[in-house]
Amino acid sequence: MWFKIAEIIKNLQEKIDLERLPEHIAVIMDGNGRWAKHQNKPRVFGHRNGVKAVREVTEACAELGVKYLTLYAFSQENWNRPKLEVSALMGLLVDTLTKEMATLTKNDIKLEAIGNISQLPRSTYNALLKGIERTKSNSRMTLVLALNYSSRVEITRAAQAIAEDAKLGNVDISTLSEDTFSSYLETAAYPDPELLIRTSGEQRISNYLLWQIAYAELYFTQVFWPDFEREHLYEAIVDYQSRERRFGKTSEQLV
């Protein structure tokens, strides 16, 4: 049985064209709660098992040669969840960030974050800063955690900062380009994601990287996040590679 699964994974991996890998993959990790409910367990059980998928996908992306992986770990809207769930999630982040340092180091992965992280509970914020500091010289892949993140807030803040710079005479609004606008976003240092994966069957963007995914291929799978394994990532990449990315052109113009 195990041998069979290993064979399926190997076959899928071999279908991936390493020359045409997405440089940046963004993921909306969804379905932890429902996964737990199906097993008559509390929602937190789903989040805890979601960590396994985070490890698996992070390692698999680094091994393949993906340069950036951005995970939606906590949206600004997630504060509306029951207090107990929010504090369990924050605690889980502290535990995971501490325990997984070895995995990040072993795989030469740099940890970074986007979102309003200064509003996170102190212990989560400190664990995050520690992880970012300890991995800052790693260079194989950058793992970006979106935490207390809202794309609309990010875009609004960028617009405010541009207006301030215009007042100071540092930006000419009449010639403001898309590239200059992008440079005011928290993701300024990363290329835009070419592939966005959302698990659990939901087909929404949920205020995630709205500017950055303008040309991303969207991949939705029924698999709940805790069940998302290496083979599912490979399937998403194979599917991505089968698509024709036209950027507004016709098929004929691409040949």
Could you give the residue numbers annotated as active site?
30, 78
Per-position b or e across 83-104, b if 16+ CB within 10 A of its CB: eeeeebbbebbbebbeebbeeb
Going by C-alpha positions, the residue among 156, 143, 82, 81 that lies closest to residue 116 is: 156
Give me 105's structure tokens: 């180091």
Instruction: Check residue 30 for interaction with ligand FPP (CB under 6 A).
Output: yes
Measured in residues, the chain has a length of 255
Smallest gap, in angstroms, from Cβ of residue 219 to ligand FPP? 17
Going by C-alpha positions, the residue among 45, 31, 39 that lies closest to residue 206 is: 31
Nearer to ligand FPP, 113 or 158 (CB): 113
- Give residues with Cβ within 8 angstroms of 155, minimum separation 6: 185, 210, 211
Nearer to ligand FPP, 180 or 206 (CB): 206
- How far is the C-alpha of 130 from the C-alpha of 136, rounded, in Å? 10
- How far is the C-alpha of 92 from the C-alpha of 86, rounded, in Å? 10
- Residue choice 22, 50, 131, 193 for contact with ligand FPP (CB under 6 A): 50
Nearer to ligand FPP, 117 or 171 (CB): 117
- Residue choice 54, 162, 197, 213 for contact with ligand FPP (CB under 6 A): 54
Site for ligand FPP in 213-242 (CB under 6 A): 225
Instruction: Please identify the residue of the shown chain whose CB is closest to the bound ligand FPP.
Output: 33
Site for ligand FPP in 86-125 (CB under 6 A): 92-93, 96
Please report, as ranges, the residues that interact with ligand FPP according to CB under 6 A.
29-34, 43, 47, 50-51, 54, 71, 73, 78, 92-93, 96, 145, 200, 225
